[in-house]
């Protein structure tokens, strides 16, 4: 195996995933970017290359088991190993529970929950093959919505509660293989996800653009919404040897919104 450790991050063409990939690159990992959106994926890969990062990219849909296994294979074909796998990609759905259709429910659970299951299976299979020496890390995107439930975000909250549960079960099953499984739980970050949530909530609540976002962020103890770097700093820790003794945790990184 090559000496440089390798981190794979899904949904890293944009948003929090891109911020996490940047931080892990700075920490010295070779980076495998992955996204369903070919344009942002290409642009981000070019940006990383220009910055001198050892980077590969893979276009795939995290909801598809074969894509998650192909992503891990791509990482191995390119860099020879996988040390850290971040199940970051996720989507939201803003609607009252009474309006949710079967297709809405399936869409969110396919991308937010099946992705974590399939990503964990693919990463663990490779990490088990590698064996020996270091502790491998699977890191999942949960949310304050994995600890608390919010109106108009019911299916999203249910999906993130499921991610928290999968994190604990995977931690219990994989510890014997020296694989830890933890999750990061962001609060409110002004990514494209929140642009969409703000617009959709506006339709239900008759709010102006930006108002729902402001309302949701108003009570944050640290006095501001978060930026990708805030979340990336926690993932940096979870990906590092400093967190080798931590597993099965879903850690809140929200500036002071939800207290557990
Ligand atoms: N933004 C927030 O405030 C916030 C808060 C809590 C949790 N989160 C979680 O953090 C993660 C990242 O959120 P974000 O705000 O960066 O979202 P985002 O929408 O800004 O970015 C998500 C990225 O994932 C990609 N993606 C979407 N569906 C995919 C699929 N099926 N396969 C592969 N890639 C796919 C998108 O193309 C995009 O590049 C998500 O899991 C989200 O639920 C975000």
Q: What is the pLDDT of residues 59-106, one digit of tens each?
A: 999 999 999 999 999 999 999 999 999 999 999 999 999 999 999 999
Residue 2 Cα to ligand 1 middle (Å): 30
User: What are the angstrom distances between the C-alpha of 125 and each of 45, 121, 139?
Assistant: 26, 6, 15
Residue 125 and residue 158 in one domain: yes
For residue range 146-156, what is the model confidence (pLDDT) as tens digits? 999 999 999 99
Residue 26 and residue 49 in one domain: yes
Residue 31 and residue 82 in one domain: yes
Q: Whose CA is nearest to atom 7 of ligand 1?
A: 143
Q: Is residue 1 part of a domain?
A: no
Residue 202 and residue 143 in one domain: no
Residue 43 and residue 131 in one domain: yes
Residue 257 CB–ligand 1 contact under 6 Å: no
How many domains are contained in the chain?
2
Residue 9 Cα to ligand 1 middle (Å): 11
Which structural domain range is residue 110 located in? 6-187+227-253
Measured from the Cβ of residue 253, the count of other Cβ atoms closer than 10 Å reads: 18
Residue 94 and residue 49 in one domain: yes
Residue 225 CB–ligand 1 contact under 6 Å: no
Q: What is the DSSP string of 9-24?
A: EET-SSHHHHHHHHHH
Residue 245 and residue 219 in one domain: no
Q: Which of 5, 136, 160, 184 is catalytic?
A: 160
Q: Is residue 260 part of a domain?
A: no
Q: Is residue 108 part of a domain?
A: yes
Q: Is residue 259 part of a domain?
A: no
Q: Is residue 70 part of a domain?
A: yes
Residue 118 CB–ligand 1 contact under 6 Å: no
Banded pLDDT at 131 (limits 50, 70, 90):
confident
Residue 12 CB–ligand 1 contact under 6 Å: no
Catalytic residue list contains 64: no
Q: Is residue 248 part of a domain?
A: yes
Residue 148 and residue 241 in one domain: yes
> What's the whole-number mean pLDDT along residues 190-211?
93
Q: Is residue 258 part of a domain?
A: no
Residue 24 Cα to ligand 1 middle (Å): 17
Average pLDDT of the residues of the chain: 97
Residue 253 CB–ligand 1 contact under 6 Å: no
Percent of the chain scoring above 70 in pLDDT: 100
Residue 215 and residue 243 in one domain: no
Q: What is the CATH number of the domain that holds 54?
A: 3.40.50.720
Catalytic residue list contains 160: yes
For residue range 21-56, what is the model confidence (pLDDT) as tens digits? 999 999 999 999 999 999 999 999 999 999 999 999
User: What are the angstrom distances between the C-alpha of 258 and each of 110, 112, 147, 173, 217?
Assistant: 26, 21, 8, 28, 12
Residue 21 and residue 90 in one domain: yes
89 burial via Cβ count (<10 Å: 0-12, 13-18, 19+): buried
Residue 197 and residue 78 in one domain: no
Residue 120 and residue 172 in one domain: yes
């Amino acid at each position: 195996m090559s000496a440089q450790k390798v981190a794979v991050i899904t949904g890293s063409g944009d948003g929090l995933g891109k911020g996490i990939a940047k931080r892990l690159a700075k920490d010295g990992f070779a980076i495998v970017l992955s996204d369903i959106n070919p344009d942002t994926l290409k642009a981000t890969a070019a940006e990383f290359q220009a910055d001198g990062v050892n980077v590969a990219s893979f276009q795939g849909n995290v909801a598809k088991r074969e894509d998650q296994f192909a992503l891990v294979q791509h990482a191995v074909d390119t860099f020879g190993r996988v040390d850290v796998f971040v199940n970051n990609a996720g989507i939201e759905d803003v609607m009252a529970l009474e309006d949710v259709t079967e297709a809405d429910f399936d869409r969110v659970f396919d991308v937010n929950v099946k992705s974590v299951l399939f990503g964990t299976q693919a990463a663990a299979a490779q990490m088990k093959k590698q064996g020996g020496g270091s502790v491998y890390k699977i890191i999942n995107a949960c949310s304050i919505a994995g600890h608390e439930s919010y109106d108009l975000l019911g299916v999203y909250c249910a999906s993130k509660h499921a991610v928290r549960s999968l994190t604990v079960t995977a931690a219990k099953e994989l510890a014997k293989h020296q694989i830890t499984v933890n999750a990061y739980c962001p609060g409110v970050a002004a990514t494209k996800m929140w642009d969409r949530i703000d617009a959709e909530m506006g339709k239900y609540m008759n709010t102006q653009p930006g108002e729902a976002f402001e309302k949701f962020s108003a009570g944050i103890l640290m006095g501001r919404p978060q930026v990708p770097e805030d979340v990336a700093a926690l993932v940096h820790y979870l990906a590092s040897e400093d967190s080798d003794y931590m597993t099965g945790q879903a850690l809140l990184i929200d500036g002071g919104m939800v207290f557990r």
